Amino acid sequence: MDRLLSPKTKQIVLVVLAVSLVALAGCTTGGDTTPTETPTGEELTDEPTDTPTDEPTDTPTDEPPESDIDPDELADSHATLLEDADSVTAGRRVVQRQAADGNTTVLSQQVQGYYDFEESTGLQASSRIQRGQFGSFTSSAQAYTAGNETFLRQNSSQIEEPQYAYDSEPYNESTPPTPVSFTGVGWGQLYESWSPSLQSQGETDFQGETVEQYRAEGEESLPYLSENVGASLGSLDEINATVLVTEDGLVTYTAIQVSGTGPNGGDVTSTYEFTVTDLNETTVEEPDWTGNVNTTG
């Protein structure tokens, strides 16, 4: 099964980053609050070891330093491992803050997916929280696909009871649920074109496994990300990325941090986290709420 995206769609993650920045910039700014989100899926709480803070002594130049790891080889090894995998767990978390006119708007989104490719079974849990001057809004959803059937549960702060939906092949694309997709799982498309200049920071521990930590800082070291993500900002002030790589070449964790000015003014800071874990060890359990779903129409 071809689970990698075609070249025509390899920029999808970068588009998500850019659209998210635009959406935040268009929000009405609000009170100075920070989300305390508890997503439906597994928390992405593991953080890499702090990056060394020693200041470089060399005179800065416009040329990026030579990368300690070939980005094309890294993208290939990551893609190959995903293509050969029987199962995997993959997550994404985005936290964005915009401060303008003394107010702060916070938008936090998370998706955690569990995929069993051999059994065509998947569970995706997503959540969203937005807080600002005029209050907050939260929502969450779980989609469970087993073979040719998909079950959906949705919750939001505006509706008291959970909402359920069900469908089976051939799906009605105009109404939910949308089945869990097994294509493009594991963020392989993120690494195909971004060509960072990654500097090794040595070994660290991530979820009980020893990994190599790499870091890139500045537009020169992250040209592709800077161009695509920065295009959604009025100005890009800082950008950096941290990547954790397993011994066999899987990018198990990536964090991208961006700060700048929004298109309509105000300071914007964003953090994007991507995880790929439990390769060939992920199991997908049927949620206990599927019995509440009407499957007869």
- Residue 255 placed within a domain: yes
- For residue 206, CA distances in Å to 20, 125, 272 come to 27, 22, 17
Name beta bridge partners: 75: none
Cβ–Cβ under 8 Å, residues 250 and 259: no
Q: Binning pLDDT at 50, 70 and 90, where does residue 18 land?
A: low
CB 107 within 8 A of CB 27: yes
The pLDDT value recorded for residue 143 is 98
> Residue 29 pLDDT > 50, yes or no?
no
Q: Which of 273, 202, 277, 204 is nearest to 241 (CA)?
A: 273
| Tens of pLDDT, residues 154-184 | 999 988 899 999 999 999 989 999 999 999 9
Tokens of 223: 């040209």
3-class DSSP assignment, residue 72: helix
What value does the mean pLDDT of the chain take?
83
Range of the domain at 94: 71-110+182-292
Is 14 inside a domain boundary?
no
Q: What is the pLDDT of residues 180-237, one digit of tens each?
A: 999 999 999 889 988 999 999 999 999 999 999 999 999 999 999 999 887 888 899 9
Q: What is the pLDDT of residues 236-293, one digit of tens each?
A: 999 999 999 999 999 999 999 999 998 888 899 999 999 999 999 999 999 999 999 9
- What strands, in cross-sheet order, belong to the sheet with 87-100? 159-168, 149-156, 135-146, 121-132, 103-116, 87-100, 267-277, 251-261, 235-245, 209-217, 199-206
How many domains does the chain contain in total?
1
Do the domain assignments include residue 287?
A: yes
Residue 174 within a domain: no
What is the torsional sign of CA 258, 259, 260, 264? Answer: positive
- Residue-wise pLDDT tens digits, 75-93: 999 999 999 999 999 999 9
Structure confidence at residue 234 (pLDDT):
87
Q: What is the CATH number of the domain that holds 279?
A: 2.50.20
> Where do the DSSP E strands lie in 157-232?
159-168, 199-206, 209-217
Task: Tell me whether residue 93 is in a domain.
Answer: yes
Residue 165 CA neighbour count, 13 Å, CB half: 16
Q: How many residues does the chain have?
A: 297
Residue 222 lies in a domain: yes
Residue 10 has pLDDT above 60, yes or no: no
Residue 121 maps to a domain: no
Instruction: Using the predicted structure, report yes or no on whether residue 3 has a pLDDT greater than 90.
Output: no
Is residue 28 situated within a structural domain? Answer: no
- Helix 12-25 / helix 223-230 crossing angle, nearest 10 deg: 40
> How high is the pLDDT of residue 61?
55
* pLDDT class of 72 with cuts at 50, 70, 90: very high
By C-alpha distance, which of 21, 83, 41, 38 is closest to 275? 41
